[in-house]
Amino acid sequence: MTVAAADVPGPGPSGSAAADAPAAVLARYEELAELLSGMDGRPLADPDLSATAAAALAHEARLLDAGRFEDWLDGWTDDAVLWVPLSDRAHPGNDQSLLLDDHRRLAERIEWRCDPSAWGQQPPSRTTRVVGSVEAWDGPRGVVTRSTVLIDEHRHNRHQQLAAYQIHELVGDDLRRRTKILVVPALATGVRNPSFLL
């Protein structure tokens, strides 16, 4: 299956909302695909904007590592998307992902993380995120950032480290997260219980 926003017919003669609805979904997916595929060719970042964004990203990493998931959830917009693709060439409408959450499923994910019978995260993973190489640019909907992140995880008797990079769209004066794309190359070869990834 291959779909792209341009392939989707516009509203029919009736101009019904339902006919627009899949187009809106595909348009959001296209935004995600363009953010991912267009990152490598970007120009030198804006140093001041990058410093501002770095503080927001460090704050997010601190909340996640501390297990303050409700606070983390509060920092998202209503039209949030968290996407963890399986490769840096993926499209959210054509390829499997590890996850693609809207705000509703993000809230469910936090509920699951806090459920004492969710054995995949009980006992919970202890993580330490090392965020680096933060670059930021002005984008059409807000600030676009790319950063690297090393996620160190301890759980039961195991220890694993995953190197990744992340793309954020941060909107408004308070830099709320509208989009986050987390690219973990190890997902293409196999990861043990990745349910700690956010």
Partner 1 sequence: MTAANIDPVVADFGELVQPHRVHRRIYTDPAIFEAEMTRVFAASWCYVGHESEIPDPGDYRTTTLGLRPVLMTRSRDGDVNVLLNRCAHRGTVLAAESSGCAKRFVCPYHGWTYTPDGQLVAIPFPSDHPVEDYSTLSLGRLATATYRGFVFATLNADPEPLDCWLGEAVEAFDIIIDRHPGGELAVMGSPQLLEFAGNWKLSWDNAADGLHATFAHHSYNTLGSTVDVETVLARDPGSTPMVSKALRNGHMVVDQRPGIPQGPWATMRDVPFREPLESALVDAGATELLDLATGSMVNLSLFPNLIFVGNQLLVVEPVAVDRTRLNLWLTSAPGAPPEIDLLRLRVDEDFVNFGTPDDLDMFERVQRGLSVPEMEWIDMSRGLPDDRATDGTIRGPITSEAPQRRYLAHYAGLMTAPAATRAR
Contacts with partner 1 by CB under 8 A lie at 1, 3, 16, 18-19, 21-22, 24-26, 28, 81, 86-87, 90, 92-102, 104-105, 108-109, 111-112, 115, 117-121, 156-158, 187-195
**Shortest Å distance, C-beta 159 to partner 1:** 12
Written as one string, the DSSP assignment of 75-99 is TEEEEEEEEEESSTT--TTTS-EEE
166 and 183 in contact (C-beta within 8 Å)?
Answer: yes
The helix (run of H) or strand (run of E) holding residue 143 is strand 143-155
Alpha helices, H only, 2-102: 17-37, 47-66, 69-74
**Shortest Å distance, C-beta 136 to partner 1:** 27
How many Cβ atoms from other residues are within 10 Å of residue 116's Cβ? 8
**Shortest Å distance, C-beta 104 to partner 1:** 6
Nearer Cβ to partner 1 (5/39) = 5
**Shortest Å distance, C-beta 19 to partner 1:** 7
Nearer Cβ to partner 1 (87/128) = 87
Rg (CA), the chain: 18
Nearer Cβ to partner 1 (149/197) = 197
